[in-house]
Amino acid sequence: MKTTVELSKVCCLCFGAKRALKNAIKAKDEHNNVVLYKQLLHNKETIKNLEGLGIVTKQNLFDLTSDDYVIIRAHGEPKSTYAYLNEHNIKYLDCTCPNVLSINKLVESKQKDGYKIIIIGKYGYKTGKIHPEVYGTSGWCVSPILIEDESEIHNIDLGFNKYFLVVQTTFSRSKALKIIEKIKDIMHKSNKLFDYKDTMCNAQAIIHQNSIELAKKVDKMIIVGGKNSSNTIELYNSVSNFAPTYFAEDIDDIKHLISTKKLLEGDCIGLSGGASTQIEQLKAIKSYILSKL
């Protein structure tokens, strides 16, 4: 039987990631010393391509200088980063996704209205690694309450009168909705004013739905993206429930899947990528698989 490889109808770079990438490349044509402040997207291939264009990445705020033209990535940054750049006359282009920007402005204004902010997101309660978007949003309010897991909700400090909750845009929707219901209940029983905004991103939900549809009709799925990309890991977890699924960061991982016979001649393979994966990478992987199997 002939091997087939089908790409998910909707996958790869979301609107916010595409916009950040396009602006970074455009900035290179118009400015000298274009510097990415932290990894633009959690994707090795994309970063390699940007480096090939001469765009360097600096991880440390204090390494940025007034000669740099700084790109702020789609995940956003705390308010203090903007203050630092302005104070030091460092020019920058803010490529924060507009969805994330509006969450940051929202928590800032809700806090001014007297609400204690709760953020559901990956703040690293087990891994110790905070997701960049949660780090950024946390920096637009004072000491927000961070919740990543249902088990943590009983530790919420109930010493405030009113609470406002937002969710990391790429957080698992099913997990977040469960946590929100439980928090609502606690707040109600404690006579607290509680309000929230569903800030989870539809771009994610659409990629998940389409990838799951594909998983249901193929033998095996491959999810392509950075192993440090939160949204790609979430995609892998959802799709794994519907077909045997493998995670690949690059062609080397595909070579490994072939050499270890995880992928076989005659397989019907589905391919999808997270919101930080470029479609070109999926197309290259498709061609590679078809040339080998």
- Give CA 80 to chain center in angstroms: 21
Among 74, 153, 167, 263, interactor with ligand SF4 by CB under 6 A:
74
Residue 138: CB atoms within 10 Å: 20
Helix, strand or coil for residue 45? Answer: helix
Tokens of 36: 């990415």
For ligand SF4, which residue of 275, 282, 285, 289 counts as binding (CB under 6 A)? 275
- Asked whether the beta carbons of 41 and 20 are under 8 A apart, the reply is yes
One-letter amino acid at 141 equals C
Give the single-character DSSP code of 216.
T
> Shortest gap between Cβ of 114 and ligand SF4 (angstroms)?
27
# residues near ligand SF4 by CB under 6 A: 14
Active-site choice (51, 87, 108, 133): 133
CA distance 253 to 273: 14
Dist CA 121 CA 107 (whole Å): 14
For ligand SF4, the closer of residues 100 and 248 by Cβ is 100
C-beta of 15 vs 160, nearer to ligand SF4: 15
CA 76 to chain centre: 11
Chain positions 199 to 238 lying near ligand SF4, rule: CB under 6 A, are 201, 203-204
Q: Does 144 bind ligand SF4 (CB under 6 A)?
A: no
Rounded to whole angstroms, the Cα distance separating 46 from 18 reads: 11
Residue 14 as a binder of ligand SF4 (CB under 6 A): the answer is yes
CB of 169 to ligand SF4, least distance (A): 4
Q: Residues 46, 170, 211, 281: which binds ligand SF4 (CB under 6 A)?
A: 170
Letters for 92-131 (x = contact with ligand SF4 by CB under 6 A, - = none) are -----x-xx-------------------------------
* Residue 39 interacts with ligand SF4 (CB under 6 A): yes or no: no
133 is catalytic: yes
Query: Would you say 35 and 56 are in contact if contact means Cβ atoms under 8 Å apart?
Result: yes
- Least distance in Å: CB of 206 to ligand SF4? 10
200 token code pair? 């989870």
Residue 91, φ and ψ in degrees, nearest 5: -75, 145
Nearer to ligand SF4, 32 or 174 (CB): 174
Asked whether position 278 contacts ligand SF4 by CB under 6 A, the answer is: no
Give 64 or 203: the residue with its C-beta nearer to ligand SF4.
203
Closest residue to ligand SF4 in the complex (CB): 16
Beta strands in the chain (DSSP E): 4-7, 34-37, 56-58, 69-72, 91-94, 116-120, 145-147, 162-167, 193-196, 220-224, 245-248, 268-273
Binding mask 183-202 for ligand SF4 (x = CB under 6 A): ------------------x-
List residues binding ligand SF4 (CB under 6 A): 14-17, 74, 97, 99-100, 169-170, 201, 203-204, 275
Known catalytic residues are 133
